[in-house]
Amino acid sequence: MVHELLDGWETRWVKSDWKKDENTAGEWNYTSGKWNGDPNDRGIQTSEDLRFYGISAEFPEFSNKDKTLVFQFSVKHEQKLDCGGGYMKLLSGEVDQKKFGGDTHTVSCLDQISVATAPRNLYSDWDLLPPKTIKDPDAKKPEDWDDNEYIPDPEDKKPEGYDDIPKEIPDPDAKKPEDWDDEEDGEWTPPTIANPEYKGPWKPKKIKNPNYKGKWKAPKIDNPDFKDDPDLYVYPNLKYVGIELWQVKSGTLFDNVLICDDPEYAKKLAEETWGKNKDAERAAFEEAEKKKEEEESKDDPADSDMEQKTALKAKMKYMMSCRDEALISLEMS
């Protein structure tokens, strides 16, 4: 089990030289943030806008074979997030920490979330192996296979006189112009309009096909290219955890990085850290927003509903910027 509280972080976390030669490498601060539930509860926070960030920590190398792997952390966004990218990475023992960055090979590349993987399986959306079965490429649809769900009703008959209905008829509302001269202009005929009675060429109505067999599908056969790998989930040499970011606006704070094999312990730790301070942190945030609103309204008389607007704004902003901590179990049969 590895649990990083981030205190004394500079002795364990290595800041990468990634992007330093371009002068776009950002610096980290050790802080509890602009607002917090406990000023002694600190983490590392991005401090410069328009910067890349790369940092990693080493832990005793291990394999997750026959174990559940839990990767959990807390993150707080004190800024309004703009364009950028954020990744938490589990790394193998072959990584040069000073070169850690966007192109570093990762065992697990996660976008600000906590994940657990079980030894039985991986998430079903990932096609890491060829399918066990495939459609038989030699199968052919039988000639007598009827895949027409509906057929014309053989009992339906075309109404008498149906074909005599014209597509267009003279406009009954048209009037001959007063200055129309039949001798000079010829016999006046009204313009035509679409006939509302005209229904187009007659077609018999459709009925369910009693011989319908459904859409034909080729039968499945074993895939000759499939080879099962019971150790597909195994990461044999996990040794580093890394944070790799590109931020237009800085202010993201990380803490309580956890790597273990016990989901229940992870949930318990989340409640003892993030869970213990979340209500106090919410109150601190709302108080900070209230003071900010008061400062902004000193030169502008407040509306009668200012308090309600302030509370609503604070609540919405908190939902976007509060500290999130999640644990998701990914299991595939």
Q: Where are the domains of the chain?
A: 2-120+234-276+325-330
Supply the pLDDT for residue 326. Answer: 40
Distance, in Å, from the CA atom of 238 to the CA atom of 105, rounded to the nearest integer, reads 12
| C-alpha distance from residue 162 to each of 16, 152, 159, 198, 199 (Å) | 83, 18, 6, 9, 9
pLDDT of 330 over the 80 cut: no
- Dihedral pair phi/psi, residue 320, rounded to 5°: -85, -25
Supply the pLDDT for residue 296. Answer: 85
| Token pair recorded at residue 271 | 């409640």
Supply the pLDDT for residue 17. Answer: 96
Within the chain, strands assigned E span 2-4, 13-15, 28-31, 43-46, 51-62, 69-77, 84-92, 108-110, 115-117, 133-135, 150-152, 168-170, 192-194, 206-208, 220-222, 238-247, 252-260, 328-330
Supply the pLDDT for residue 83. Answer: 84
113-146 confidence digits (pLDDT tens): 445 455 555 444 567 789 999 999 999 999 999 9
Read off the pLDDT band of 107 (50, 70, 90).
Answer: low
More confident residue, 56 or 104: 56
pLDDT of 268 over the 90 cut: yes
Distance, in Å, from the CA atom of 232 to the CA atom of 280, rounded to the nearest integer, reads 43
Q: What is 2-120+234-276+325-330's CATH topology?
A: Jelly Rolls (2.60.120)
| Token pair recorded at residue 192 | 């035509």
Output the average pLDDT for the chain: 85
Q: How large is the average pLDDT for residues 243-248?
A: 96
In this structure, which long-range contacts are made by residues 106-111, counting pairs with CB atoms below 8 Å and at least 24 apart in sequence?
106/242, 107/235, 107/238, 108/71, 108/235, 110/71, 111/85, 111/86, 111/87
| Token pair recorded at residue 207 | 């009925």
| C-alpha distance from residue 141 to each of 147, 151, 214, 222 (Å) | 10, 20, 12, 19
More confident residue, 258 or 127: 258
18-55 confidence digits (pLDDT tens): 999 999 999 999 999 999 999 999 999 999 999 999 99
The residue among 279, 242, 206 whose CA lies nearest residue 100 is: 242
Distance, in Å, from the CA atom of 221 to the CA atom of 77, rounded to the nearest integer, reads 51
Query: What residue type is 234 in one-letter code?
Result: V
Supply the pLDDT for residue 300. Answer: 62
Supply the pLDDT for residue 301. Answer: 56
pLDDT of 62 over the 70 cut: yes
pLDDT of 196 over the 70 cut: yes
From the DSSP assignment, how many helices (H) and strands (E) are in the chain? 4, 18
Supply the pLDDT for residue 5. Answer: 67
Residue in the block written with tokens 């601190």: 284
More confident residue, 31 or 105: 31
pLDDT of 273 over the 60 cut: yes
